Amino acid sequence: MNALAGIGRLTLAACATTGGVLIFGLEAIARGLRGPWYPRELALQMVRIGYFSLPVVGLTAVFTGMVLALQSYVGFTRFEAPQAIPTIVVLSMTRELGPVLAGLMVAGRVGAAMAAEIGTMRVTEQIDALVTLATDPLRYLVFPRLLAGVLMLPLLVLVADVIGVLGGYLVSVYKLGFGPIEYLTRTLDHLESQDIISGLVKAAVFGFVIALMGCYQGYRSEGGAEGVGAATTRAVVTASILVLTLDYGLTEVFFAR
């Protein structure tokens, strides 16, 4: 009996949280679109998400591209098809690893920072202060972050795609004996615009989810420094899990086409 009650409680809690997050996100979008707008806040968040995530995303991308080339060489020489390496690298980067790895990195970097900042504002009554100063926190704090996430993550992924291919190129040309021209031609030969676009759509969705979890968990945090810490952890964990599960869902959607 107790076990069943436990399952019931967990299910209800999961439903309540999902509903809460959805309502929070939709409310923020609805109010944000109606204005007033806060361009300064938006610009600040775009710089924080886009520009300051470049080093970590770039580093991840270059090593992923390099290791992809190396590993696929091991596999594909067994089928005597090493010429497939450039295609494997570019498709894996654009369709899958660019968005997912950038998403996970940004979840750790930006999602955590958003939850900590908004959570601190919550427990120190700064959010209440915003309201008393005739400013809607959903419009002022949440909407610019959501929008910045949606706009900046695709740009980051575009950079990650290029740097990832560069990583594959470096290993293939300087270690595996590919010709430079040959590698680049083969990279572009089988690349279709849909490969890149599907990756960018994924990135936009991930950017939204990461910002949403960061804002929601921060906004709902309570109980001082400990509560803010817990909110930060929850933001990163839930955003990372959502990135991975939504990645499969979106891949299914694009696969069917």
The residues binding other proteins (CB under 8 A) are 36, 120-121, 124-126, 128-136
Nearer CB in complex with other proteins: 43/129 = 129
Cβ proximity to other proteins, 132 vs 193, nearer residue:
132
Do 207 and 152 contact (CB within 8 A), yes or no?
yes
Contact present, 139 and 35 (Cβ < 8 Å): yes
Q: Whole-angstrom Cα distance, residue 161 to residue 61?
A: 7
Q: How far is the CB of 216 from other proteins (least distance, A)?
A: 19
CB of 257 to other proteins, least distance (A): 42
2 vs 132, which CB is nearer to other proteins? 132
Which CB, 125 or 192, lies closer to other proteins? 125
Q: How far is the CB of 119 from other proteins (least distance, A)?
A: 13
Joined together, the tokens standing for residue 183 give 């590698």
Residue 50 beta carbon to other proteins: minimum distance, rounded to whole angstroms: 18
In angstroms, rounded to a whole number, what is the distance separating the alpha carbons of residues 68 and 91?
11
| 3 state SS of 219 | helix
Positive or negative, the CA dihedral 74, 76, 79, 82 is negative
**Whether the Cβ atoms of residue 208 and residue 108 lie closer than 8 Å to each other:** no
Name the minimum Å distance from CB 48 to other proteins.
11
| CB nearer other proteins, residue 131 or residue 244 | 131
DSSP, res 116 = H
C-alpha 8: how far from chain center: 31
Q: How far apart are CB 248 and other proteins at their closest, in Å?
A: 37
CB closer to other proteins out of 95 and 109: 109
Q: Which is nearer to other proteins, 125 or 226 (CB)?
A: 125
Query: Which strand (E) or helix (H) includes residue 227?
Result: helix 224-256
Give the residue among 220, 225, 218 at the shortest CA–CA distance from 116: 218
Contact 135, 81 (CB under 8 A): no
State the nearest-atom distance from the C-beta of 127 to other proteins, in Å: 9
- CA pseudo-torsion sign 149, 152, 158, 164: negative
Q: Which residue has the tokens 């915003």?
A: 130
